[in-house]
Structure 1
Amino acid sequence: MAPMTEDLVDVAHGVPPYVLVSGPESVLAERGLAEVLDRLRVAQPGLEVIRLYAGTYEGGELVLHTSPSLFGGAKCVVVHDVDEASDELQADLLACITDPPEPDLTLVVLHRSGQRGKRVLDALRAARARVVDAPAVKTDRDKTDFAAHEFRRARRKATPEAVHALVEAVGKDVRELAAACQQLVDDTTGVIDENTVLTYHGGKVEATGFRVADAALSGDTSEALRLLRHAIGVGVDPVPIVAVLAQQVRQLIRVGSAGRGRSADIARDVGMAPWQVDRARRALAGWNGETLAVCLQALAAADAEVKGGGRDPVYAVERVVLTMTRQHGRHREG
């Protein structure tokens, strides 16, 4: 098929006949699709949107919905989950893409990842489809970049400390992280700083665990126990607190083993965000391999106890916090 020319792009809404939304992150994929549909509706308010799903597709459906209508009108056919497409759906998509595009028809294909449907992806790119990327947001570095972009997108300034605190508080789920960014944008004014984040999300399990870990890894026994007892008092389960403590100790070990180098380079190598590398480097001043190993062993024992292996989970997590604060700086003794 000959390459598509620019005159096939509808200048009224800037959307070409074919659009590929590619990547596994559902929040970004949904947002990309919504923006495409919004653009189409601006120019054509009566747009008909037809959604087809790979799991329930029947042969010929795509041909039926992409054929010219007797009544005319703009139409957008959205095909979901093409990474799970049957041979029939792939064949119908290829036939649709290789035919000249119908006027007032937009075909949007969503593909998460993998090799299934690769011929369709290649055909879309050959047809000069617009590609909307929805890359995975997995590592803490990815989540930090995502949150920072959310604030920039909303034209709000957020300090790096605020972004870090938010990722620590709600960073397990990207959808929750996006919602938390939107809440701060909607409910606050001025610069979003760390105190703003703690006001809204300071009670989250992850945030509580990280604050306990920060105090324990700095050797501040009284503050670590105060934060821990407050967390337990408001109903936070010991299990995720021990998990966060162990995660922080493992990060110190990874960064300590990585040697010297730029934070960005080490972050890429160990799967962390640069700010996490910087924080770990600061914390490492009070630790060495031997004392970190003692902490890791104590945390493994505490993990077993808080998950049912011991009689008193609260005592188990208090004991491991005391072990950590006592190990801090021990390599300097003698």
Structure 2
Amino acid sequence: MPPRTRAPEATWHRAKPAPVVLVSGPESLLAARAVERIHHAMGAGVAITTLDAGAYTSGALLAAASPSLFDEPGLVVVEGAEAMNDAFLADGLSYAAAPEPDVVVVIRHGGGVRGKRLLDTLRKGGVPEYTCPAVKRDNEFADFVAAEFERAGRPAPAAVVRRLVDAVGTDLPELAAATQQLLGDVEGAIDEDAVARYYGTRVNATAFSVADAAVAGQVSTAVTLVRHALAAGVDPVPLNAALASKLRTLAKVGASRGRGLDPTRDLGLPPWQVDRARRELRRWNAESLADAIEAIAAADAEIKGGGRAPAFALERAVRTVAELAAP
């Protein structure tokens, strides 16, 4: 591949076909979306061949990318380049020097230093790179959902996007599945009522919804949610663990203020989580937070075998935490 000026990086939603494409970054769902966009842009009927760079056999890339194997231009997707073996590294470097113009080869690299020589060669050669960064901030989850609606040609108002993220939570695959369900089941405009109808009761009764309500001092809501979750068969252990995690985050962010620490830089907490914790800490002081942590620790011991009624122990702990935070 003749040297050229390095192509500028673009995010996954701008991905389009080229003889060789690099899709990089840790967020696998976004990487899958990038490949989908490339495939869609190539038209219907394009054959896809998938290779595993970690279990690669010499010659497989050249065979898959051979135009003679396709009735029309094909797409070759190389997964797991962050774990590539030496055979793929050698073939990847060779192929990058003279790629087939009528075939699209997408190399998916999840991050790390493995295969750096190939990545440097691709980048220096001007290969287009589409990044799939980890989604961490609250607004990034909202942006993802908005992009999913737009990708389907049915843009949703910001209030609908916000309602869906609040209901489903910050698990990217779950958000994607929820968005696709709404797109498939709801005719016409998707509004807040549709989100509430599908996810207002089932998904809100999750571990983190219970934790959020308790930490916010919403006693009746927290108790209702935990009862709903238990009735739906949710294990008390993750419910209690989510509340414990929430309280630990509050404790870390609260303690960082007096120690001159940056919670994101020094404690590794995502910025959106820090912002939210700072808002929630307005209801708490050191004494009440310590009491809440003790209540959750006691419940944890009972739930894991120390008591005979784990559901009751969990509900009692949730109520205690919520009452400590209540106005």
Which category describes the TM-score, using the shorter chain as reference length?
0.7 to 0.9
The residue correspondences of 1:301-320 to structure 2 (distance < 5 A) are 301-320=298-317
TM-score by length of 2: 0.78
Q: 1:165 is matched with which residue? A: 166
Equivalent residue runs for 1:215-254 within 5 Å = 215-254=213-252
- Provide structure 1 residue ranges, at least 5 long, that are not aligned to the other structure: 6-12
- Conserved in 2, the CA contact under 8 Å of 1:52 and 1:80? yes
* Counterpart residue type for residue 15 of structure 1: P
Separation in structure 1 between the aligned mates of residue 70 and residue 296 of structure 2, nearest angstrom: 69
8 A contact 1:21–1:132 mirrored in 2 = yes
- Provide the rounded CA distance (Å) in 2 between the counterparts of 1:151 and 1:103: 33
Separation in 2, partners of 1:76, 1:86: 21
Higher mean C-alpha deviation, range 247-256 or range 125-134: 247-256
Give the Cα–Cα distance (whole angstroms) in 1 for the partners of residues 69 and 175 of structure 2. Answer: 46
Q: Judging changes above 3 Å, is the alpha-carbon distance between structure 1 residues 235 and 202 closer, same or farther for their aligned structure 2 residues?
A: farther
Q: Which amino acid aligns with 1:98?
A: A
Residue 290 of structure 2: aligned partner: 293
| Residue 76 (structure 2) pairs with residue 77 (structure 1) | yes
Give the Cα–Cα distance (whole angstroms) in 2 for the partners of residues 184 and 21 of structure 1. 28
| C-alpha distance in structure 2 between counterparts of 1:71 and 1:29, whole Å | 24
Shift of 1:129: 1.2
What CA distance in whole angstroms lies between the structure 2 residues aligned with 1:48 and 1:219? 55
How much does 1:238 deviate? 2.0
Give yes or no for contact 1:151–1:157 (8 Å, CA) kept in 2.
no
Distance change >3 Å, CA 312–CA 118, structure 1 → 2: same
* Percent identity (aligned): 44
User: Residues 58 and 91 of structure 2 are in contact (CA less than 8 Å); yes or no, is this contact kept in structure 1?
Assistant: yes
**Cα distance, 1:161–1:279 mapped onto 2, change above 3 Å:** farther
Deviation at 1:178, TM superposition (A): 0.6
Matching residue of 1:19 = 21
Aligned to 1:324: 321
Question: 258, 269, 291: which one pairs with 1:271?
Answer: 269
3-state DSSP class of the match of 2:43?
A: helix
Report the Cα distance in structure 2 between the residues aligned to 1:294 and 1:31, rounded to whole angstroms: 45
> Post-superposition shift, 1:240?
2.4
Match of 2:30 in 1: 28
Q: Deviations over 1:57-113 (max 9, x none)?
A: 2222333444564998534333222222221221111111113x3342332212222
Aligned AA (2:106): V
* Offset of residue 218 of structure 1: 4.2
Q: Counterpart of 2:231 in structure 1: which amino acid?
A: G
- How large is the RMSD of aligned CA atoms in angstroms? 3.5
Counterparts of 1:63 and 1:307 in 2: how far apart (Å)? 55
Q: Does the C-alpha gap of structure 1 residues 41 and 310 become closer, same or farther in structure 2, counting only changes over 3 Å?
A: same
**Cα 1:187–1:272 shift into 2, 3 Å:** farther
Deviations 1:211-267 (CA, angstroms, capped at 9, x unpaired):
44344334454443344334333433322221232233233334434549xxxx977
* Structure 2 segments unaligned to the other structure (5+ residues): 6-14
Amino acid paired to 1:60: G
Structure-1-length-normalised TM-score:
0.77
SS at match of 2:133: coil
Higher alpha-carbon Rg: 1
